[in-house]
Amino acid sequence: MNETKKKTTPEVEAEIEKMMLSNLFSNLYSRWQDESEHEDIREYGARLVRDERFELVRCTKRPFGVVVTHPEMPGAEYHVTANARSVGWSRLK
């Protein structure tokens, strides 16, 4: 079976949701709204992806967030985002 077609495991989903629901994610989104003209978005990536099981692929400005990979899901990428009303994630690959 192609690894990228494998369904995301509940364990990986729980880890993504733990990262997504941390206060840090929404706090950094608010800070980005104030400082986006003065700070580099890549500085936020290192702070958002503190769990060593995730590897940061890239940061996104619109929507604010990060694209990450997880070793249990080779080839899969996840986009974790935040806006003024919500925080969420989706699988890109």
pLDDT band at 68 (very low <50, low <70, confident <90, very high): very high
Cα 39 to Cα 14, 42, 49, distances in angstroms: 30, 9, 18
Percent of the chain with pLDDT over 90: 52
C-beta of residue 43 within 8 angstroms of C-beta of residue 35: no
C-beta of residue 48 within 8 angstroms of C-beta of residue 28: yes
Instruction: Domain ranges for the chain, please list them.
Output: 3-91
Both tokens of 57, joined, read 């692929």
- 21 versus 57: the higher-pLDDT residue is 57
What is the pLDDT at residue 3? 54
Q: Where are the alpha helices (DSSP H) in 1-93?
A: 10-20, 23-35, 41-48
pLDDT band at 59 (very low <50, low <70, confident <90, very high): very high
Encoded amino acid at 81, one letter: T
Average pLDDT over residues 3-20: 85
